[in-house]
Amino acid sequence: MPRSSSLVSLLCVALAALTPALPCPAATPQHDLVIRHGKITDGSGNPWFFGDLAITGDRITAVGTVAGSGKRELDARGLVVAPGFIDIHSHSDWLLLEDGNAQGKIRQGVTTEVLGEGGSAGPFKGKAAARPVSVRNQATQIRTLGDYFRAVESSGVSVNVASYVGAGNIWQCVMGAAFDRPSTAELQRMKDLVAEAMSDGAFGLSTALMMPPGSLATTDDLVELCRVVKQHGGIYSTHIRDEGLGVFDSVKQAIEIGERAGLPVDIIHLKIADEKYWGRMREVIALIEAARTRGVNVQANVYPYTRGNNNLASIIPPWAHEGGTSQLVARLKDPAQRQRLKRDITQGLSGWYNHYTAVGGDWSRMLVSANNAYRGMTMDRVLALRSEGKTPKPDPLDLLFDLLIEHDGSVSTVYAHHTEADMNLALVQPWCSVGSDGSAFAVEGLLRRGHPHPRNFGTFPRVLGEYVRDRGLLRLEDAVRKMTSLNAAKLGLRDRGLLLPGWRADITIFDPARVKDRATYTEPFHYSEGIEYVLVNGQLVLDRNRHTGARPGRVLRHGAAPTP
């Protein structure tokens, strides 16, 4: 409040005591919004405290004791006031252009989505065809990551958006669907594309190394690309090459890339996804700790579930994917090729993470999440249906090949491949944050599709309900840090992730007694409970469990100067 207003108010109080009938000007609200009596958990990991928080415009203006009033005041008694959650591993890239309300994420308390794992929403150049999209009913072509950012800004979104550049895009722009090794000139073209994407605002390079095209890149290739990222101050985010029997070598590779290129590394959804190695997470952690001790900034993130979402096509060995989908389907139809495929699937190949053997060849541990007639069924049930009335009973792998042929080589699938104990041990590490590996689906409308993994709707509330309140695995303050400031620090976000005066007003307010995930593997389309309010850049997007329709989200570009 200006000094003159303070003097007027004091004078009014004094005069009112002497002459109660004397009229006095009403005090002018000082803030746009004041949140009163909340349990402030500021994102730093420091102990929570009871207090107030004030917002003017898109900024936090006071935390603790707030004088004056707000144009609107929220009573947060019994609620936790936290920074908005930053989902460091999201796949909402294209869904946000279909429906920018981001319901499935906003209702988890997410205010920033970090996109672009392995494959990003740009670039699409050279041998990779430009991607057509519709923005406000206008057709446009996405050729660069900058094009995508402008499309997001034009369409409007409820969440903030940040992105890596996907190494898969970079590879395909230069090499197409071929499995050839890049020449010196082609590798230089890749480096130029990485530099362009970093200039467009990418926060770093992201890889998905399990399958082509990511699996085609060598350690030396990735070091060269990451050296470009280093020049721009970015990060290397990696879905490692093998989360199963090759997990130790794959973690070592991620560390080596970061060490040689001299940049931070974040390992995506750290896990041990092969039953033969279950219980060995301490050894993985020891590798990371040893690297950190010698100065390599390597960290990780997890999602709080023991099943992952991939594709039935990931059961098909990498060599069969050369040339793209049409060539894959042709090989699946070829009886001679089928024999080779069966041998490689059942016996494995050196350096290939085999989803089939990782779950012990148990079809019941595979759940179809694709939008087809089998969605929500486990594969043992699918195979039984497809073999009914056939004598002799067909080979399950032949049935798998036929299913992939019918669906153009792609059937999204949830695999039960890692353990609660290993996931918990990773989650509690101080350098391990939370990311959903999910997308901004909705329970109704255009974005209710398929049979998605429950993490799309429940990741962040699940951490707060299951692992903080019910199990006591994490302190509230530590869990909030893993979902806010730890992810902001990894990315280098300078004004989000903490509740501090002058920082952006991305805020999530939740009921610690009620917060919980409701989505399940069999019934995924349920929003979580207990997230009461969500503010993005100072605007209420979720107001007492009602989406307001506001779309105040912004594109966050790495290296951009902070907005005044």
Q: What is the mean pLDDT of residues 349-356?
A: 90
Q: Cα separation of 226 and 492, whole Å?
A: 17
Tokens 């893993």: give the residue: 482
Structural contact between residues 119 and 168, judged by C-beta atoms closer than 8 angstroms: yes
Task: List every span in the chain annotated with CATH 2.30.40.10.
Answer: 1-116+131-162+435-564
- Average pLDDT for the chain: 93
Can you give the pLDDT at residue 560?
A: 74
Nearest to 537 by CA among 202, 68, 158, 203: 158
* Residues 435-455 as b or e (16 or more Cβ within 10 Å = b): bbbbbbbbeeeebeebbbbbb
Confidence class of residue 3 from pLDDT cuts 50, 70 and 90?
very low
**CB-based burial label for 306 (10 Å; 0-12, 13-18, 19+):** middle
Q: Write down the architecture of domain 1-116+131-162+435-564 according to CATH.
A: Roll (2.30)
Return the beta strands (E) in 209-275 as ranges. 235-239, 265-267
Structural tokens at position 548: 């307001």
Structural tokens at position 97: 């252009």
| Secondary structure in 3-state letters for 388-429 | CCCCCCCCHHHHHHHHHHHCCCCCEEEEECCCHHHHHHHHCC
- Given a cut of 80, whether residue 562 has pLDDT beyond it is no
Beta-bridge partner residues of 114: 162
Residue-wise pLDDT for 263-289, tens only, equals 999 999 999 999 999 999 999 999 999
Find the length of the chain: 564
Say which amino acid occupies 472: G
- Given a cut of 50, whether residue 437 has pLDDT beyond it is yes
Residue-wise pLDDT for 372-407, tens only, equals 999 999 999 999 999 998 989 999 999 999 999 999
Which range has the worst mean pLDDT, 23-27, 155-159, 486-490?
23-27
Residue-wise pLDDT for 404-417, tens only, equals 999 999 999 999 99
Say which amino acid occupies 469: R
Torsion of CA 395, 396, 401, 403, to 10 degrees: 130
Can you give the pLDDT at residue 12?
A: 40
Task: List every span in the chain annotated with CATH 3.20.20.140.
Answer: 164-267+270-306+418-434
Q: Classify the C-alpha dihedral 251-255-256-258 as positive or negative.
A: positive
Confidence class of residue 561 from pLDDT cuts 50, 70 and 90?
low
Beta pairing, strands 49-56 & 80-83: unpaired
Q: Classify the C-alpha dihedral 20-26-27-29 as positive or negative.
A: positive
Residue-wise pLDDT for 191-200, tens only, equals 999 999 999 9
Can you give the pLDDT at residue 136?
A: 81
CATH among 3.40.1390.20, 3.20.20.140, 3.55.50.30, 3.40.50.300 for 164-267+270-306+418-434: 3.20.20.140
- Given a cut of 70, whether residue 77 has pLDDT beyond it is yes
Residue-wise pLDDT for 129-184, tens only, equals 999 999 888 899 999 999 999 999 999 999 999 999 999 999 999 999 999 999 99
Say which amino acid occupies 164: Y
Residue-wise pLDDT for 507-548, tens only, equals 999 999 999 999 999 899 999 999 999 999 999 999 999 999
